[in-house]
Chain A
Amino acid sequence: MIPDWLTPAIMTIVTASTPLVFAAVGEIMVEKSGVLNLGVEGMMIMGAVAAFAIGVTTGSATLAILFGALAGLLLALIFGLLTLNLRANQVATGLALTLFGLGLSALIGHAFVGETFPGLPKLDIPIISEFPIIGPLVFGQDFLVYMSVASVIFAGWFLNRTRWGLVLRAVGENHDAAHAIGHPVNFVRMMAVLFGGSMAGLGGAYLSLAYTPLWVENMTAGRGWIALALVVFASWRPGRAIFGAYLFGGITILQLHVQGFGVAIAPQLMSMLPYLATIVVLVLISHDVNRFKLSAPASLGKTFHPSQ
């Protein structure tokens, strides 16, 4: 017999993992082009607040999702202009993006504290969606969950099977060589940065529209940074990123359920699990210096000067 709690538990893991899938896949594309955008947290929280504000005022989930992605994209545009056009330090600019996003989202969200959003409609196919476990899991999710899976497939296909994917990887591995054979380095990077921004915005939108459906200051709670760690964990491969995202979603939900079962551990100690797991995973992936260097894009984080 299947226990009653199993299906809802798996469903919540999906909900907890989806924001990470979006953000990690977006950042993989960015880093593959040789740009390190540490502002994922800021872009996510802006996506969350924009989606929630539009969702509450218009009542339209579609508009909310669109504006969530747009907010992430606009923040990414600032990052792109600063690092690509004005050649600012990528680490510092990424941090600025996060600090600015957290501040601005709190300012915008101030008016929406206490409001609620009905959540996203879920797919509901008669009979099929009612199969035990598989039914709701595969045929009973909301639109964004399917889109997150599609984005992983798209990113994998784009990077490995298309001409522009090859150009993007070339730009990320050696921007001088790519420039020398005539590829528009900064244009490719800007497109990747904007894609990453809108994906982070979608991840944030999912948090405030589906995961909690309400607005809380700082509600991303480090998920943007966990997504950055997932990129390393995944060795910059989209397929592994979705696996990692579900692993972390699972850990997040596990610690909530352990508290529910009345295990006598302080809730704060359990809440540390996702963060500690992130550190452990990073150590495991990074300790082999040679393998790490092989999978990381060679020009990652380096500023491109066309004339040199």
Chain B
Amino acid sequence: MAIRLEPRSEVAQGMIYGSPLVAVAATLVSGLVLFAILGVSPLDALFTFFISPVSSLDGWTELFVKATPLVLIAVGLSFGFQANVWNIGAEGQLTIGALAGGGLALLFFEAESVLLLPAMMIAGILGGMAWAAIPALLKTRYNTNEILTSLMLVYVGLLVLSWLIHGPWKSPDGMNFPESRLFHDQATLPVFVSETRLHIGWLIALAVVLTGWIVMARHIIGFQVKVIGMAPMAARFAGFNENKIIWTALMISGGLAGLAGMIEVSGPIGKIQPMISPGYGFTAIIVAFLGRLHPVGVLFAGMLMALTYLGGDAAQIELNLPNAVTGVFQGMLLFYLLASDVLVKYRIRLAPSAPIISKTGPSK
């Protein structure tokens, strides 16, 4: 007897949505083992990690605050991933977006204008786009792998941030801490649930989800992206402009990552500091896959991943665990998701080990 993968004649629609659930369940079971190894009561730890952070209204608002950048970035990334454009430098685009938007807040520090916030948003989007334009240009003009260039630019972007807050943008009254001045109210995103940190950035993220959904379902760009991803040869014969798709994918994902960065500095943070994001740009990659590269799926996946951040904080405070547990959970989840995705295209059969010539499977 051997386990054999038999190609399905058609992609299993049910498993497309079932496999994330399988992955989450497997992650929870592994979590029990992980907590036992770390020497804490597994069930208590699981409760602290996944239930207690969202057992109050406050908890939910914090969840939305953390989910905002994840959802924004992942909607953009899933667009590119469908067309096999692998922008993995969203963390860098987020940083430059935060610097562009936050820089405007510092430049017009005393400004009393309602236009400041919209201008900062546009600056954030443009900053992220500019950073993503580098891999786009190098890919389309010089055939350079966008995975490596976009990732290298993450490190460069973080160094730009470090340079600015240690030098030109350092707060004059900050007792020599490497951070900027605290933004004025005019440059801070309004909170819409009083006495919490839930700012209008969450509403923007929801609007982006809705827009992304419509674009993917109705706009020609959404159609082209899907065709390129599923049948690159067909796309070439149909005369789709490959370079245009690469540019569009990188501009959308870069712009949204930049917007997420601007929202972080003018929302929950309120200044420019050495660490703007705890790796949102990378976690968003997992969010995009977990959400099945679909804006609505991304919304739920983003909330789940936000929960792992809150859970990590809670586990650190209440159980004295290092909050690196969050990263382990996120990585594990992606592994299990990729593993259970085999069910989408294949049936698992217990079969005699004699080779059987199987039918042609779905082409890839």
Instruction: Give A residues with C-beta under 8 Å from B.
Output: 38, 78, 82, 86-89, 91-93, 95-97, 99-104, 106-107, 110, 217, 221-222, 225, 228-229, 232, 266, 268-269, 271-272, 275-276, 278-279, 282-283, 286-287, 289, 292, 303, 305, 307-308
Given known A269-B159, A305-B361, contact A104–B342 (CB-CB < 8 A)? no
Given known A87-B5, A282-B148, A303-B364, contact A106–B338 (CB-CB < 8 A)? no
Residues of B contacting A96 with CB < 8 Å? Answer: 286, 331, 334-335, 338
Q: Quick check: is B285 within 8 A (CB to CB) of the other chain?
A: yes
The CA-CA distance from A14 to B54 in the complex, in Å, is: 51
Residues of A contacting B142 with CB < 8 Å? Answer: 283, 286-287
Tell me whether B328 and A100 are in contact (CB under 8 A).
yes
Contact of B155 among A82, A91, A275 (CB under 8 A): A275
Tell me whether B331 and A100 are in contact (CB under 8 A).
yes
Residue of A nearest to B163 (CB): A268
Tell me whether B338 and A93 are in contact (CB under 8 A).
yes
Tell me whether B324 and A99 are in contact (CB under 8 A).
no
Given known A86-B339, A106-B324, contact A287–B151 (CB-CB < 8 A)? no
The CA-CA distance from A181 to B269 in the complex, in Å, is: 61
Q: Quick check: is B289 within 8 A (CB to CB) of the other chain?
A: yes
The CA-CA distance from A222 to B138 in the complex, in Å, is: 20
The CA-CA distance from A103 to B331 in the complex, in Å, is: 7
The CA-CA distance from A292 to B289 in the complex, in Å, is: 30
Contact of B327 among A106, A225, A276, A283 (CB under 8 A): A106
Residues of B contacting A99 with CB < 8 Å? Answer: 282-283, 285-286, 327, 330-331, 334
Residue of B nearest to A276 (CB): B156
Show 26 A/B contacts (Cβ-Cβ < 8 Å), sorted by A: A86-B338, A86-B342, A92-B338, A95-B285, A100-B330, A101-B331, A103-B324, A103-B326, A103-B328, A106-B324, A225-B151, A225-B152, A232-B145, A266-B167, A268-B159, A268-B163, A271-B159, A275-B152, A275-B155, A276-B156, A279-B138, A286-B145, A287-B144, A292-B143, A305-B361, A308-B360
3 tightest A-B contacts by CB?
Answer: A103-B327, A100-B331, A106-B324
B 304-349 contacts with A by CB, 8 A = 322, 324-332, 334-335, 338-339, 341-342, 345-346
Tell me whether A88 and B339 are in contact (CB under 8 A).
yes
Given known A91-B147, A279-B149, A282-B148, contact A107–B324 (CB-CB < 8 A)? yes
Contact of B7 among A278, A283, A305 (CB under 8 A): A305
Residues of A contacting B325 with CB < 8 Å? Answer: 103, 107
Residue of A nearest to B364 (CB): A303
The CA-CA distance from A8 to B283 in the complex, in Å, is: 41
Minimum distance in angstroms from B96 CB to a CB of chain A? 13
Residues of B contacting A229 with CB < 8 Å? Answer: 148, 152
Tell me whether A283 and B144 are in contact (CB under 8 A).
yes
Residue from the set B144, B163, B363 with the largest chain A CB neighbour count within 10 Å? B144
Residues of B contacting A93 with CB < 8 Å? Answer: 335, 338
Residue of B nearest to A222 (CB): B155
The CA-CA distance from A228 to B88 in the complex, in Å, is: 14
Tell me whether B338 and A272 are in contact (CB under 8 A).
no
Minimum distance in angstroms from A22 CB to a CB of chain B? 19
Residue of A nearest to B159 (CB): A268
The CA-CA distance from A78 to B331 in the complex, in Å, is: 12
Residue of A nearest to B142 (CB): A287
Residues of B contacting A303 with CB < 8 Å? Answer: 364
11 more contacts with CB within 8 A, not counting A103-B331, A268-B166, are: A86-B338, A86-B339, A95-B334, A99-B327, A107-B327, A228-B148, A229-B148, A269-B159, A276-B152, A286-B145, A308-B361
The CA-CA distance from A282 to B144 in the complex, in Å, is: 6
The CA-CA distance from A93 to B341 in the complex, in Å, is: 12
The CA-CA distance from A104 to B30 in the complex, in Å, is: 13
The CA-CA distance from A107 to B331 in the complex, in Å, is: 13
Residue of A nearest to B162 (CB): A268
Tell me whether B159 and A272 are in contact (CB under 8 A).
yes
Given known A225-B148, A266-B167, A303-B364, contact A82–B339 (CB-CB < 8 A)? yes
Residue of A nearest to B137 (CB): A283
The CA-CA distance from A307 to B147 in the complex, in Å, is: 31
